[in-house]
Amino acid sequence: MRIAALTLALLTLALLPPAAHAVNPPAPASADLHCGQLFDARSGRLLGPHTVQVRDGRVAAVVAGIPALSGASAVDLRGHTCMPGWTDLHVHLEDQSSPQSYSEGFRLDPVDYAYRSVGYAEKTLLAGFTSVRDLGGDVVPHLRDAINQGRVRGPRIFAAGRAIATTGGHADPTNGWNHMLSDLAGAPGPTEGVVNSVEDARQAVRQRYKDGSDLIKITATGGVLSYARSGDAPQFTVDEIKAVVDTARDYGYRVAAHAHGTEGMKRAVLGGVTSIEHGTYMDDEVMRLMKQHGTWYVPTIYAGRFVADKAKIDGYFPDVVRPKAARIGAQIQETFARAYKAGVKIGFGTDMGVGPHGDNAREFIYMVEAGMPAAVALQAATIRAAEVLGVDDQGVIETGKRADIVAVPGDPLADIARVMQVDFVMKDGTVYRQPEATAVAGMP
């Protein structure tokens, strides 16, 4: 039944009306972007007026000033700061939390989540996020393919597919089910992403490869929104994590570890994961280990603040979830502040899908509130995010790199709230958003 439902979801995405009236990805346009300021993600500085020449989906040249035009179309962004397209390293595009989320899991089919994901993806792209790392969901690998085929509009997706958990762990899909449902479905195993041994761990990674994932996600501790009592207990042994990481390496995969509790984070770092997600109760020892092993931290402050606020509302979360949301959610921003001061490597991530898709850039504001300079926060979503992903063709505006470019009015280093006013979005040389009356065939 599950396979049939997923097949239907895939067919749904395949039959959606193509974006931009094209069956194939929209052809990138040649354009000269006339930027009042250019943010250099390598140095974290504004470089003054620059022209970015885009050809065939790539940056062809970056020229100081605004020289006389060639024959290419020009986009007037002289009142804007141009930056590399942002990357959100932690999203869930197939869903968005609400008081109905827990019951919907029993009422909706994958095809319903597929339709929802299309709108969420477009909102994310238009908010300035040209790439995302989606950390868990059956539908999203197919959404990724539909976007790549030009059938729907959305960011470049690095999809984990199903997260890997232990029995009763944060990503066990049967948490909260009664005995009758559990007996009908049977105990989930590695195919469903539930492991209980080193051998299971290896099999689960291989299944993700078979399913077409781009990376691996494990739930190293309990979680906030899962229907389970503990939000921070460790849920893998070090040997199980090492088995995941070693097998993932065979396929060129990196491993992201959801973790709130201290012991689970230690095990994940020692097991060799690429990144710790959330990191709520990160202590000095964990920070020291992360620096020693080069482990990245993706804090998701937005999600923490969102669930802490919603925990105050009667009925928004089930009773078993509400105290975790109140306790853990409120802690993440403070942990982020300590981790930044300690020198832990930080990438940008929101856990969007917990909060409303398209509001991702608010994370920048929360990072700056916690003491990170605006330039460093922007680097976390550009060049540092590319390092987390292990790619070298994005995250900077340089000759030969992908033409992923966003622009906001004014100076976001002086006023980080400008990130909420994205006026221009280009992905792979295709313009998806621009200020009205800015594209002209030439400028005096």
> 314 and 241 in one domain?
yes
User: What mean pLDDT value characterizes the chain?
Assistant: 87
Report the CATH number that the domain containing residue 431 is assigned in CATH.
Answer: 2.30.40.10
pLDDT for 182: 47
Between 6-10, 336-340, 375-379, the lowest mean confidence (pLDDT) is in: 6-10
Distance CA 153, CA 358 (A): 13
Residue with tokens 């990130």: 419
pLDDT for 329: 75
pLDDT for residue 44 is more than 90: yes
For residue 200, name the pLDDT band (cuts at 50, 70, 90). Answer: very high
Tell me whether residue 79 is exposed, middle or buried, using C-beta atoms within 10 angstroms of its C-beta: 0 to 12, 13 to 18, 19 or more: middle
- Rounded to an integer, the average pLDDT of 17-46 is 77
> 372 and 412 in one domain?
no
pLDDT for 212: 95
> 403 and 422 in one domain?
yes
pLDDT for residue 99 is more than 60: yes
Distance CA 37, CA 33 (A): 11
| Three-state secondary structure readout of 112-179 | HHHHHHHHHHHHHHHCCEEEEEECCCCCHHHHHHHHHCCCCCCCEEEECCCCEEECCCCCCCCCCCCH
Residues near 383 by beta carbon (within 8 Å), at least 6 away in sequence: 41, 42, 84, 395, 396
Is this model's pTM higher than 0.75 or not? yes
Q: Which residue has the higher pLDDT, 443 or 240?
A: 240
> 420 and 292 in one domain?
no
* Residue 322, domain member (yes or no): yes
Last residue of a domain, one of 348, 371, 389: 389
Q: Which residue has the higher pLDDT, 128 or 170?
A: 128
Between 46-55, 252-261, 324-333, the lowest mean confidence (pLDDT) is in: 324-333
* Residue 379, domain member (yes or no): yes
For residue 287, name the pLDDT band (cuts at 50, 70, 90). Answer: very high
For residue 13, name the pLDDT band (cuts at 50, 70, 90). Answer: low
For 126-146, write each residue's pLDDT tens digit.
999 999 999 988 899 999 999
> 411 and 280 in one domain?
no
Highest mean pLDDT among 195-209, 213-227, 313-327: 195-209
pLDDT for residue 194 is more than 70: yes
Strands (E) across 160-299 are located at 165-166, 194-195, 216-219, 255-259, 275-278, 296-298
Considering only CA atoms, which of 260, 271, 286 is closest in space to residue 198? 271
pLDDT for residue 18 is more than 60: no
* Residue 13, domain member (yes or no): no
pLDDT for 167: 80
> 290 and 186 in one domain?
yes
> 407 and 385 in one domain?
no
* Residue 22, domain member (yes or no): no
pLDDT for residue 357 is more than 60: yes
pLDDT for residue 53 is more than 90: yes
pLDDT for residue 227 is more than 50: no
pLDDT for 20: 41
> 232 and 113 in one domain?
yes
C-alpha 381: how far from chain center: 10
For residue 97, name the pLDDT band (cuts at 50, 70, 90). Answer: confident
> 173 and 60 in one domain?
no
Q: Which residue has the higher pLDDT, 39 or 14?
A: 39
pLDDT for 230: 52
* Residue 10, domain member (yes or no): no
Structural element, H or E, at residue 8: helix 2-15
pLDDT for residue 70 is more than 70: no
For 400-431, write each residue's pLDDT tens digit.
999 999 999 999 999 999 999 999 999 999 99
* Residue 7, domain member (yes or no): no
pLDDT for 296: 98
Residues 187-208 as b or e (16 or more Cβ within 10 Å = b):
ebebebbbbbebebbbbbbebb
* Residue 5, domain member (yes or no): no
For 361-386, write each residue's pLDDT tens digit.
999 999 999 999 999 999 999 999 99
Alpha carbon distances (Å) from 167 to 189, 228, 233? 9, 11, 13
> 376 and 333 in one domain?
yes
> 275 and 183 in one domain?
yes
Collapsed DSSP state (helix, strand, coil) of residue 37: strand
pLDDT for residue 325 is more than 70: yes
Distance CA 99, CA 102 (A): 7
The domain tally of the chain equals 2
For 101-116, write each residue's pLDDT tens digit.
666 666 778 888 888 9
Report the CATH number that the domain containing residue 368 is assigned in CATH.
Answer: 3.20.20.140
- Rounded to an integer, the average pLDDT of 321-350 is 90
* Residue 312, domain member (yes or no): yes
> 343 and 236 in one domain?
yes
Residue with tokens 């354009």: 31
pLDDT for 21: 39
Containing structural domain, residue 44: 31-85+396-440
